[in-house]
Amino acid sequence: MIDLHQSLRIAKSAVLLAGEFLLKSQGTDLKILLNQGRDLKLQLDIDTENIIKDHISAHSSYSILGEETGSSDKLDECFWVVDPLDGTSNFLRGIPISCVSIALMHKMKPVLGVIYDFNHEDLYFGHKESKAFMNDQEIQVSKLSLKNESTLVTGIPAKTNYSDDEFNQLILTFQSWKKIRMIGSAAMAAVYVAAGKAERYQENGIFLWDIAAGAAIVNAAGGIASISNLQPDYRVDAKFSNNQIEE
Percent of the chain scoring above 70 in pLDDT = 95
Among residues 88, 113, 138, which one ends one of the domains? 138
Indicate whether 34 and 112 sit together in one domain. Answer: yes
DSSP assignment of the chain, as one string? ---HHHHHHHHHHHHHHHHHHHHHHTTS-PPEEEEETTEEEEHHHHHHHHHHHHHHHHH--SEEEETTTEESS---SEEEEEEEEETHHHHHHT-S--EEEEEEEETTEEEEEEEEETTTTEEEEEETTS-EEETTEEE-------GGG-EEEE---S-S---HHHHHHHHHHHHTSSEEE--S-HHHHHHHHHTTS-SEEEEEEEEHHHHHHHHHHHHHTT-EEEEE---TTSEEEEEEE-S-S--
pLDDT of residue 37: 65
pLDDT band at 160 (very low <50, low <70, confident <90, very high): low
Among residues 138, 155, 187, which one ends one of the domains? 138
Kindly state whether residue 104 falls inside one of the protein's structural domains: yes
Kindly state whether residue 114 falls inside one of the protein's structural domains: yes
Q: What tens digit of pLDDT does each residue of 73-112 get? A: 678 899 999 999 999 999 999 999 999 999 999 999 999 9
Number of domains in the chain: 2
Which residue range is the domain that position 206 belongs to?
147-241
